[in-house]
Chain A
Amino acid sequence: MITAPLSGSNRGVPGPLPVLDVIRVVTTRDCFAGCDFCDFSRRRSRPETLTQPIPTRRDFLSLPRPDWLRISGGLNAMSQWDDILAMISSLSEQFSVPVQGLSAPEIDWASQVLGISLAQLLDRLKQAGLSVLGPGGADVLDDGLRTELAHWRIDSARWIEIHRIAHARKIPTAAGMMVADFLSLDLMDRHLSRLAPLAAGFHHLELKVLRPNNHPLSRLAPPGLLQILDAVRAIKDRFPDLPIFMRQGAFSPDAQVLLRSAGVDRLVRTLKVVEA
């Protein structure tokens, strides 16, 4: 448990967290994985294909300039992976900002759909302009929990393998960890120990707070602030130099001060979600 004071006085108390502005590009919300903690698992209304033209700079003109672009999507049989690669290439050319995204489960699925190896796919993504892979699909690298909550999601060994191959090809990746009311510190620590061998290749770690949302576990309480702070501290204890990012969510100014004090480096703020 965190016991250290914020500071002995008002001096040195950190202020609100710096923000990383992103525009999210969602390739599809249809996903066969049906993970209990993912809001894609209940989005079945959209057609299972890319039906919109690839976004161009004109689509983003009215928005503030993002710091990053993030690309993510669900797993389904109709995804046009060649189009997604082309979109990444197009966005990368039009924006001089890092393009982050695609999760290990998406990479696993795309390599099967395209019939190419993971290494070949990652090379194509790098060539298209993908700057940072991930962090999706990490959640908690515990196969008992994954079997219970995300049966069709790749297992932890596969997640690790994909990130290891990416690192070998000089593609930095983002690690991830979920913090949820039902996860103990022990379980989160086991997760972090599984990430440890890959640490040198991680660009940052994204801590995902499971909040009530449109997913099957939405009836559970969100994790408490103390649990989130202890999760941050556990990450910093194991990876002191790895930046920690969190989605902005609904953190109060007090919570932001505490998160920063515990070791969170940036809040990720979504300026706009573009459905491709």
Chain B
Amino acid sequence: MSVPIVWFPRLRVDSASPQWALRLAESFWDRHEGYGHVVFGESVSPRAIRVPPDRSAAFMVPEPGFRHRRRDDSPKHIGWAGTVEWEVVDVTSAPGDPLENPLDCDRLVLHRRPDLPLGRLESMLSDLLTEVPISRIWLDLTSTGWDAATWLLSRFPQVQLEGVADHELWRLMQIAQWLNRPLWLQDAVHPNPREIPQFPRYLNHLEEGG
């Protein structure tokens, strides 16, 4: 079976009111039938809210026992010219420590620097994937842009997109259909992804008739 394309709904929540932040998160999970990944910002401490264990969430505030998301704006030591974010399930290093080894993290999200040409982006990604045998790497859609992200998704089976909004799901479906790859709804906690069925193609009857 060809490598699935993953729709990983993500919501960033940063609110001075932890309870309001949780309300937003719950609404987001409800809209995706319990799936979806929520990233709580610096103002939300893991201890201030109670996230159900079957919900996918990460916190920018480190706390043992909680999934922690970090950011490094200058990760040149791993061969990337742009911001990286990564998530660790267990907090063992200090919050300011750089990412030493991409294999040590649970999810690695690469951001594109605004002035980075597509050719350079592709070769950097190729080098990174050659040097680090990582099975899945995430590209931040907002900074990468749809056209570059589409191309890189087709080029590298390890690449997935983070930040595809609900109203842009059709674009991911279109890419999956053209590449003949299944489309999965997935997050960081559910062991079983959900397959998203494809739309029937308009004028299929003409194709079948030859």
Contacts and interface: CB of A to CB of B under 8 A. Distances in A.
Given A145-B206, A182-B202, A187-B207, A226 B122 contact: no
Contacts of A220: 202
Contact of B118 (A1, A184, A258): A258
B29 to A, nearest CB: 28
Nearest to A230: B178
A221 interface: yes
A224 B203 contact: no
Nearest to B201: A182
Contact of B123 (A7, A142, A144, A221): A7
A59 interface: no
Nearest to A142: B206
What is the interface residue range for chain A against chain B? 20 to 34
A252 B145 contact: yes
B174 A5 contact: no
B118 A224 contact: no
B175 A10 contact: no
Nearest to A224: B174
What is the interface residue range for chain B against chain A? 20 to 34
Nearest to A7: B119
10 shortest interchain CB distances as A-B pairs: A13-B119, A182-B202, A254-B147, A255-B147, A10-B120, A182-B203, A224-B174, A254-B148, A6-B119, A254-B118
Interface in A3-29: 3, 5-10, 13
A254 B119 CA distance: 9
A255 B146 CA distance: 9
A248 interface: no
A2 interface: yes
A225 interface: yes
B15 interface: no
A54 interface: no
A142 B209 CA distance: 12
Contacts of A225: 146-147, 150-151
Given A13-B117, A145-B206, A182-B201, A5 B126 contact: yes
A254 B151 contact: yes
A226 B150 contact: yes
B154 interface: yes
A11 to B, nearest CB: 8
A258 B118 CA distance: 9
A145 to B, nearest CB: 6
20 contacts: A2-B154, A5-B122, A6-B122, A7-B119, A7-B123, A10-B119, A145-B203, A148-B203, A181-B174, A183-B203, A184-B207, A220-B202, A221-B174, A224-B150, A226-B151, A226-B179, A230-B178, A252-B146, A254-B147, A258-B151
